[in-house]
Amino acid sequence: MKNITINIAPGSIINVILFVLLIGLLFFLRDLVLIVLTAVVLASSIEPGVLFFMRHGLNRVLSVLLLYGVVVLGVLLITFIFLPPILEDAANFLSNLPATLESINVNQGITASLFPGDAVVKLSPFQFAEQIRTTFSTFTGGVF
Interval 23-48: pLDDT, tens: 999 899 999 999 999 999 999 999 99
pLDDT of residue 16: 94
Contact 29, 21 (CB under 8 A): no
Greater confidence (38 vs 123) lies with 38
For the chain, give the mean pLDDT: 84
Burial classification of residue 63, based on how many CB atoms lie within 10 Å of its CB (0-12 exposed, 13-18 middle, 19 or more buried): buried
pLDDT of residue 105: 61
Contact 111, 121 (CB under 8 A): yes
pLDDT of residue 65: 94
Element (H, E) at 109: none
- DSSP, collapsed to helix, strand or coil, labels residue 119 as coil
pLDDT at 110 over 80: no
Please report the DSSP string for 57-77 in residue order.
Answer: T--HHHHHHHHHHHHHHHHHH
pLDDT of residue 73: 96
> Which of 12-16, 78-82, 103-107, 131-135 is predicted least confidently?
103-107
Query: Considering only CA atoms, which of 73, 45, 70 is closest in space to residue 62?
Result: 70
Greater confidence (124 vs 59) lies with 59
pLDDT at 61 over 80: yes
